């Protein structure tokens, strides 16, 4: 393999990431085994590529290889494609994962759990935005739904950058807004 090929394989991989397809396969299986909630394909991609654990091409090649032989199954849950590690491979995945660098395993698990929690917060809390005539946006933050609605607050954001910042801050800890409003009124 020439230097040009090595650079291609290493592109997008952060220090501590995985370069060998076999390692990526093992980590994918281990991640599907460890998470309490099913691992969506989109989330797995975000973990591996977003965290620099593998490059795009090696990740997808590993995923295709695993699903092709049935070591990982793709199922539909809630309209989303999720990866499931069949029961007969769980013990092997646990044993083989010990061969992987601990830092990579921990980084993948932490990132996946954080992303799953963010997804859950997005499902439980609604944010809508409506453009204003001056180019800004009204943003409405809602906690709960229907008869279980706890809070609905509308604020003004002057531009898209502020919309994104407010959205991210709210989703970090939605309860913070509720506590602040109750604290201000109490």
Tell me the pLDDT band of 3, cut-offs 50, 70 and 90.
very low
Domain boundary, last residue among 122, 149, 172: 122
Whether the pLDDT of residue 7 is over 80: the answer is no
Does pLDDT of 1 surpass 70? no
C-alpha 165/C-alpha 151 separation (Å) is 20
**Per-residue model confidence (pLDDT) at position 107:** 94
Q: What's the pLDDT at 26?
A: 95
CATH number of the domain that 97 lies in? 1.10.10.10
Count of domains for the chain: 2
User: Do 152 and 139 contact (CB within 8 A), yes or no?
Assistant: no
Instruction: Compute the distance between CA of residue 67 and CA of residue 31 in angstroms, rounded to an integer.
Output: 15
Q: Grade residue 4 by pLDDT with cuts at 50, 70 and 90.
A: very low
pLDDT given for residue 9 in this prediction: 56
CB atoms within 10 A of CB 82: 20
Residue 165 belongs to what domain range? 132-185
Whether 127 is in a domain gets the answer no
pLDDT score of 113: 94
Q: Could you report the per-residue pLDDT of 18-74, keeping only the tens digit for each?
A: 888 999 999 999 999 999 889 999 999 999 999 999 999 999 999 999 999 999 999
User: Residue 87: its pLDDT value, please?
Assistant: 93
Question: Is 106 strand, coil or helix?
Answer: helix
Confirm whether 33 is domain-assigned: yes
The answer to whether the CB of 82 falls within 8 A of the CB of 75 is: yes
Say whether both 140 and 97 belong to one domain: no
Is residue 28 domain-shared with residue 80, that is, in the same domain?
yes
Inter-residue contact 35 to 44 (CB < 8 Å): no
Q: Does one domain contain both 137 and 116?
A: no
Do 101 and 33 share a structural domain?
yes
Domain shared by 31 and 114, yes or no: yes
Closest CA to 107 of 48, 166, 150, 178: 48
Do 105 and 33 contact (CB within 8 A), yes or no?
no
3-state class (DSSP) for residue 9: helix
Whether residue 61 is found in the same domain as residue 42: yes
25 vs 148, higher pLDDT: 25
Residue 148 CA to its chain's centroid (Å) = 27
- What does the pLDDT look like over 65-115, one tens digit per residue? 999 999 999 999 988 899 999 999 999 999 998 999 999 999 999 999 999
Same domain, 58 and 16: yes
16 pLDDT above the threshold of 90 = no
* DSSP per-residue string spanning 115-135: HHHHHHHHHHEEEEEEE-TTS
For residues 73 and 151, state if they share a domain: no
* Residue in 63, 113, 74, 39 with CA at minimum distance from that of residue 55: 63
Among 97, 122, 147, the domain-final residue is 122
Res 104: pLDDT: 92
Same domain, 84 and 8: yes
């Amino acid at each position: 393999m020439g230097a040009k090929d090595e650079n291609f394989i290493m592109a997008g991989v952060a220090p501590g990431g995985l370069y060998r397809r076999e390692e990526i396969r093992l980590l994918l299986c281990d991640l599907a085994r460890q998470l309490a909630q099913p691992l969506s394909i989109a989330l797995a991609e975000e973990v591996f590529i977003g965290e620099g654990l593998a490059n795009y091409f090696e990740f997808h090649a590993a995923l295709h290889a695993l699903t092709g032989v049935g070591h990982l199954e793709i199922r539909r849950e809630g309209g989303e494609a999720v990866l499931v590690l069949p029961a007969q491979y769980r013990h092997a995945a646990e044993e083989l994962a010990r061969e992987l660098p601990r830092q990579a395993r921990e980084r993948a698990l932490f990132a996946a759990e954080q992303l799953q929690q963010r997804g859950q917060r997005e499902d439980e809390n609604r944010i809508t935005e409506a453009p204003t005539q001056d180019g800004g946006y009204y943003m409405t933050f809602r906690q709960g739904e229907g008869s279980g609605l706890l809070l609905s607050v509308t604020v003004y954001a002057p531009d898209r950058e502020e919309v994104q910042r407010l959205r991210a801050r709210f989703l970090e800890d939605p309860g913070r807004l509720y506590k602040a409003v109750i604290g201000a009124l109490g």
